[in-house]
Structure 1
């Protein structure tokens, strides 16, 4: 891989992918809507070409991806835009890959699996999405697989990390940096899974370097499941014993959503993930890449806080 384009480069995982790729000497086209944010994140960096553009515009995507060996689809659309634009953008990215003879690596979530029933999910687990967003993600998966483009699809749990602003952990940290108490979405004693964006990007880029990874879905778990109580203890150690969490249940989330914007109301149907955790098996990934080193929650949260304070 000599050159790659990252669609959604200004988002949390997109940013991590750009940084991982350039650390390996890969030339990167950073593609996203906002020129100002792209410049703030990547301006002056060697091996990064900033290319502001709209993924709903086929011509812009095709032009920007010329010469790329692989396109990383890391675009994180607001929930309220999924119904009308997710399939359009996915189709445009597939077309750009076809026109430029490029491969495709897709950042996906766990929504298409639906409820896990308490079992660790493997890539062979049947997908039975029961939410509108889960059904859309499954439709996206099928569209990619029906195309002629060699593609790999990575399923990730919830993200956290530098520049990952549209995440539950960021919501919590943002409050704690200015207040003594912060909301944590989900119960205090249910173990859930989060992945540090740097770890996720490293695994995804490594997969993209393996010919045999294409044509497959890959589950990429975090270091380990963690409870809200355990997150609270980490934050007390890092920010002070006077800091603490209160826990936002699904019913509380529903009340907040009544008065919040459309994005929060759209997030309501996904709250099953916080109370009935979906845990991924990394067995297939380890079988190809071997055992990987993971960033501990203690270190990952410390690095995220440091980035937020910059």
Structure 2
């Protein structure tokens, strides 16, 4: 692997992927809409070529991907844009890969699985999404499978990490850096799964380097399972005993959504993930790659806070 493109390079996972790739000496085309943010993140990186463009425009993607062996799709649309744009952008990315004879590596969430029923979600778990967004993600997955492009899809739990701003943990940490108490989205006693973006990027790049990993879906579990109570204890150990959490249950989230913007209202239907254990199985991944080393949750939180303080 000599040259790749990362779509959505200015986002949390996109940023982690670019950093992981250039640390391995791989040339990266960092693609996103905002030039200023790309320059801020990667302007001093010798192996990064910045390309600004709109993923809704096929030509922008096709031209930016020239010479790239793999296209990493890490673009994260706002929820309110999924219905109108997710399918179209997926088709554009497929076309860009076809025109450039490139493979695809896709960052995906767990919405297409639907409710877990309390069991760990393996790759062969029947996908019966009950939400609008889950059905849209399943449609995207089917588009990828129907294409001629060799594709690997990585399903991740909730992210946290440097530059991962559109995440529940960032929401909580951002509040805690300003005041003593912050909201934690979810029930206090429900098991939750989070993955550090740097760990997710490393596993995804490892998979992308293995030819046999393509034309498959991969579940990438987080390093630590925790609940709100344990997360509060961790926060106190990192930021001090004066810090604390209040828990935003689904009914409370519904109340907030009434008065918030459309983005929060769109997030309401996904709160089932925070109301029942929704945990990924890593058995297939471990059987394929061996035991995966992961950043301890406490260290990941410390690194994330350090990045936010810069």
Output the TM-score relative to the length of structure 2: 0.99
Structure 1 position 287, deviation (Å): 1.2
Q: What is the Cα-based RMSD across aligned positions, in Å?
A: 0.5
The Cα of 1:292 is off from its aligned counterpart by: 1.1
User: What is the Cα deviation at residue 277 of structure 1?
Assistant: 2.1
Q: Determine the C-alpha separation between the residues in 1 that align with 2:211 and 2:254.
A: 45
1:254, 1:148 → 2: CA distance?
A: 42
Say whether residues 1:164 and 2:164 are aligned partners: yes
- Residue 145 of structure 2 is matched in structure 1 by 145
Shift of 1:224: 2.5
Aligned to 2:98: 98
> In structure 2, what is the Cα distance between the partners aligned to 1:137 and 1:277?
20
Taking structure 1 as the reference length, the TM-score comes to 0.99
- What is the match of residue 192 of structure 2? 192
Aligned to 2:267: 267
Separation (CA, whole Å) in 2 of partners of 1:127 and 1:205: 25
Whole-angstrom distance in 1 between the partners of 2:296 and 2:188: 20
Whether the 8 Å contact between 2:191 and 2:276 is mirrored in structure 1 is no
Give 3-state SS (helix, strand or coil) of 1:271's partner: helix
Aligned-partner SS, 2:75: coil
Between the aligned partners of 1:111 and 1:191, the Cα distance in structure 2 is: 17
Secondary structure of 1:276 counterpart: coil
Aligned residues: 310
State the match for 1:281 in structure 2. 281
Instruction: Quote the residue 1:242 is aligned against.
Output: 242
Regions of 4+ moved over 6 Å: none
Write the distance in 1 (CA, Å) between the matches of 2:174 and 2:262.
Answer: 21
Mapping 1:19-30, distance limit 5 Å: 19-30=19-30
CA distance in 2, matches of 1:288, 1:116: 24
Say whether residues 1:117 and 2:112 are aligned partners: no
Paired residues for 1:126-141 under 5 Å:
126-141=126-141
Identify unmatched segments of 5+ residues in structure 2.
Answer: none
Q: Which runs of 5+ in 1 are unaligned?
A: none
- Match for residue 18 of structure 2? 18
Indicate whether 1:226 and 2:239 are aligned: no
